[in-house]
Structures are given as C-alpha cells and as structure tokens.
Amino acid sequence: MIRERGGNSVPAVFNTESQAASFIRARIAKGTVVRADEAASWDNLHERFEIKRINHQEAYSLDGACTNMAEEYFSGLRRSEIGIHHHIAGAYLLRYAQESSWREDNRRIPNGDQARRLAALAIKRGKYPRKIRGLRDYTAPGCHR
C-alpha cells in the first residue's frame, strides 16, 4: 500500500515486501520522503529516497517516522475480511484491496455524493456483456431474469 499524505492510496498485492519495494521505486518521485517500518525489505529504498524509519517495538511515531496511515488501511482491510466471514485471497485480494482503498480515500465524502459518483461512472461505462471472462450465462445470486 502506498499512501500519499493528503492524497490517494495505491493498493497492490505482492508475495513479499521486497517485491513491493520495486513497485514503490517505480511509482514514487525521486526525492520523496518515504515512511517505513524497520523491515529489511525497505533498506534498498535509501538509495533513491529519504526514509524515516520507525521501530514499532519502541514507538508508533517518533521524529517524523510513522506508518500509521498504512497500518490504518490494513486494519480496515482485515476488519472487512472478518465482516464477510471469509478469508480473502488469490484473485480476489487485489479487488478487495482496491475497494478498501477507495473507501479510505473517500471516507470524508458524504455517502450521497459517493453514490452519485458511482452511478455516473456506471452509466458512463455502459452495459456489461452477458459473457464475462468465459462465463456462459451468469446471473448474480438472487437475481431473476
């Protein structure tokens, strides 16, 4: 998860934190101040960015080093997983991460404004084809033709 202070978040899914480091290098401008925990995976980011590191065994925030924005996002993602009573993994993990990111980025926008924005995007997108990714005749559960 990349979170910009006062901006939006960019979710992505990786098998390891070290894989995430290359994603970060490709998307953040050189010279940006990056905040990270003490995991060794972030060590190679020092060559391109100023990094403020935090050791969570010592403090949650210290001398400008803090990862609370990312931790808040992951906490919300875990709570949503508990709420649906199902483990999120595989092909669905990125979609859940993107939805959680959108919710976090838009949490201060009134629900009505969010709904109008989503409706406008859906109308702009247009009708979905009946055949989606090889599904021959899919109807959502509970829907009748």
Six-digit token string for 75: 């906490």
Rounded to 10 degrees, what is the CA torsion of 114, 120, 126, 127?
50
Q: For residue 68, what are the contacts with CB-CB under 8 A and spacing of at least 6?
A: 60, 61
Alpha-carbon span 13 to 93, nearest angstrom: 7
Query: What's the confidence (pLDDT) of residue 144?
Result: 45
Kindly give the parts of the chain with pLDDT less than 50: 135-145
Query: What's the confidence (pLDDT) of residue 64?
Result: 73
Alpha-carbon span 22 to 1, nearest angstrom: 13
Query: What's the confidence (pLDDT) of residue 130?
Result: 55
Q: Are 95 and 29 in contact (CB under 8 A)?
A: no
Residue reference for tokens 């808040």: 72
| Closest-CA residue to 72 (of 144, 3, 145) | 3
Q: Are 32 and 51 in contact (CB under 8 A)?
A: no
Strands 33-37 and 50-54, how do they pair?
parallel
Query: What's the confidence (pLDDT) of residue 116?
Result: 94
Residue 57, beta-bridge partner list: none
